[in-house]
Structure formats: structure tokens, C-alpha cells
Amino acid sequence: MKAVKLFASIVFAALFINVAVADKGKKSVALNVDTKGSKIHWLAKKVTGQHEGNINIANGSLTVDGGKVTGGNFTIDMKSIVCTDITDAGYNQKFISHITTGDFFEVEKFPTAAFKITKVVGETITGDLTIKGITKSVTFPAKISVKGTAATATASIPVDRTDFGVNMVLKNSLIKSVTKQLKIFSL
């Protein structure tokens, strides 16, 4: 059996605005995502080609305490997934229908995905990634920068999609390996 690997990158571009003014003596500040100025860019690669597109962020926030990111959460609108590289409207619709049904993400049943930061140590982030109602802890290195009430972070997260019930079997192969790249920007 010939194994085919799919590599997907998601570039998570989120703009944050300060929505909580720190009380005197309290350092924690919540930065809410600017959903109109933010998106997730995905890139999926396999041996025979690749596709890319965008997914909207429904909502999210980062917690900054003492100039460091200490937590955060993001809700991803899985119903908003689009493919930007397939120019034929019919084929594009067929592709999106395929990845949003039971073969992949089942967006009618699971309209959102989520990521919650549970721990930040230096430039290592641990968090709970939830896809299709299944939550797994992931830990990955990230480049994090906080300046005042602005924060940025970039990371690459390897994910085994079968851990999340995405078990689509292709002829003589199983696409299994996925890598997600997150980039978070703030204002």
C-alpha cells in the first residue's frame, strides 16, 4: 500500500484590541481578537498537489500579564472554510462540500473548532486543540512578543488528524500527517 501524506499549514493572523484596562496593581490584560481584520490561512499539501484557503475566526482573546502571554482562546468558524486556489466554481464547490462533510470536518455537526492556551513557559505553548468535538493537548515552540498591549506569536504545530476523528481513507492510502502553522498578530 502506497502511503500518501498530507501536510497542511494554517497561518493564523489575528488582530487584537485591548478590551480590559488593568486596575492599579493588576497586570492582567485581555486582548480580544479583531474578527474583521483576522483570518486563518490554510495550506494542505499531498504528493499529487496542494490546496489553500481561509477560515474565519469567530472570536478569541489573549491574556497578557506582566508583559507576557499567559493564556488565550480562539473559536474557529469551520462553516466559513473556503478554498482560494481552485478557480473552477463547480470543482471548488465540490472540494469544499467534500471537506466539510463526514469525510473530514462534519461542519453541520461541528460548526466550530477551538484552541485554548493552558500554559506558556518561555517560548513554549501548551494548549487544548478541539476539532470535531475531540480535544487533545498540544505543545509546541512559538516566537512570542509582547509590547504594551500588543502581542504577536508564530508557531508550527504538528497534528495527527486521525486523533480528531478525521479518518478519510483514499484509494490504497490514508492521509494522516498534518502540520499547522499559527501566526498571531496584535495591534
Nearest alpha-carbon partner for 59 in 119, 10, 109, 19: 19
pLDDT of residue 185: 46
d(CA 12, CA 58): 12
Q: Determine contact, residues 157/128, Cβ cutoff 8 Å.
A: no
Q: What is the 3-state secondary structure (H, E, C) of 128-183?
A: EEEECCEEEEEEEEEEEEEECCEEEEEEEEEEEHHHHCCCCEECCEECCEEEEEEE
How would you classify the pairing of strands 150-160 and 169-170? unpaired
What is the average per-residue pLDDT within 157-161?
Answer: 74
pLDDT of residue 169: 57
pLDDT of residue 77: 94
pLDDT of residue 96: 94
d(CA 27, CA 7): 39
Grid cell, residue 106, equals 462534519
What is the average per-residue pLDDT within 22-40?
Answer: 70
pLDDT of residue 149: 67
What is the average per-residue pLDDT within 82-99?
Answer: 94
Sign of CA dihedral 8, 186, 58, 66: positive
Task: Convert the pLDDT of each residue in 104-155 to its tens digit.
Answer: 899 999 999 999 999 999 889 999 999 999 999 999 888 877 776 677 777 7
Q: From its phi and psi, is residue 138 left (phi > 0), alpha (psi between -120 and 50) or beta?
A: beta
pLDDT of residue 87: 96
Q: Determine contact, residues 107/77, Cβ cutoff 8 Å.
A: no
Point out the least confidently predicted range of 15-19, 69-73, 136-140: 15-19
- The chain-wide mean pLDDT, for the chain, equals 76
What is the average per-residue pLDDT within 55-76?
Answer: 88
